Amino acid sequence: MERRTWRLGVGCWLLAVGGYRLFRQMIKLLNIVVMLGGPSAEREVSLRSGAAVASALRSLGHEVVELDPRDENWVLPPDTDVVFLALHGTYGEDGTVQQELDELGVAYTGCDAEASRIAFDKVLTKQSCIEAGVPTAKFIMVNSPQTPLPKKWQLPLVVKPSRQGSSVGLQFVERVEDWQNALTEAFKFGPEVLVEEKIIGRETTLGILDGKVLPVVEVRPKSGSYDYKNKYTAGNTEYFCPADFDAATTKRIQDAALGAFKAVGGRDYARVDVMVRADGSPVVLEVNTLPGMTETSLLPKAAAAAGLSYADLCQCMIELALEREAVLV
């Protein structure tokens, strides 16, 4: 198989500024392993993400093997050039698989083990944001389902497992009597639970790609909150990209997202969820280091608004991993 022999000097953004044909001529075939599925609570979403990524990479001519690491006995093919991580949740997104791939000396997409570990832990993410001066919601961490409702906190509150993604275990406390059930449900998904003030405003998410912030996506569920069901059921949520904010507000939102990405030590790409208050002030919720890549996922929507097709977004992620590992010379 022919190795890539050119550097990504103009970056992935060549695609977004009219260099599509030239870029495609440069593409050389690679042996790519897409890791998908895995053992987490987000397994089904990961399978969908990975299948979509594998299809896109095959459409570009690459040789693609899909690998489901349901246990520790997985083995990479010996001719693997790069691993595309389409895993979500524990093991895939918490730094574990990243550390294992580092030990194998294999290039892989996305953030490194340490940034993944920090970003996957919502408390560590918030602490990193506070230290960096990035706005985030008031919060506490609790480690017992018998914890009483925090005194002097005003409702509504948000309760969620500290180390899960895709809104798994997300609960809202609108009334005092909701508190105990919210804790009980959240503790089903881990030993530590984050409690934070519920930010009233517009819900947005921002993709970060190759050090640049993609257009703002506004998320509007047709009913209820942006929970697991509304995230992954086609037609349940409306998306607006670029979101209808004035230029000054857009910049504040993008600056907050990029600040959070840098605060956790992110690299290559991620997605940052940001609430926007009525006065236009942003409040970072969390950083997703391996964002969803399904047909309803938000990073591909933002990339499309910036001029990158789904397949080209996947190719860009591969290029970033290879360039970082000095495979391209």
Residues labelled catalytic: 42, 166, 232, 271, 273, 286, 288, 292
Q: Which residues contact 150 (CB under 8 A, 6 or more apart)?
A: 140, 157, 195
Per-position DSSP letters for 170-202, written without gaps between them? -EEE-SGGGHHHHHHHHGGG-S-EEEEEPPPSE
Tell me the two tokens of residue 107.
């290039």
- The span from the CA of 96 to the CA of 86, in Å, is 14
- Find the helix or strand (DSSP H, E) in which 33 lies: strand 31-35
d(CA 71, CA 52): 22
Specify the DSSP class assigned to residue 153. P
DSSP labels for 60-116? Answer: TT-EEEEE--SSTT----TT--EEEE---STTTSSSHHHHHHHHHT--BSS--HHHH
CA 7 to chain centre: 26
Q: How many helices (H) and strands (E) does the chain have?
A: 10, 13
Residue 223 exposed, middle or buried by CB count within 10 Å (0-12, 13-18, 19+): exposed
Beta carbons within 8 Å of 323's beta carbon, 6+ residues apart? 7, 8
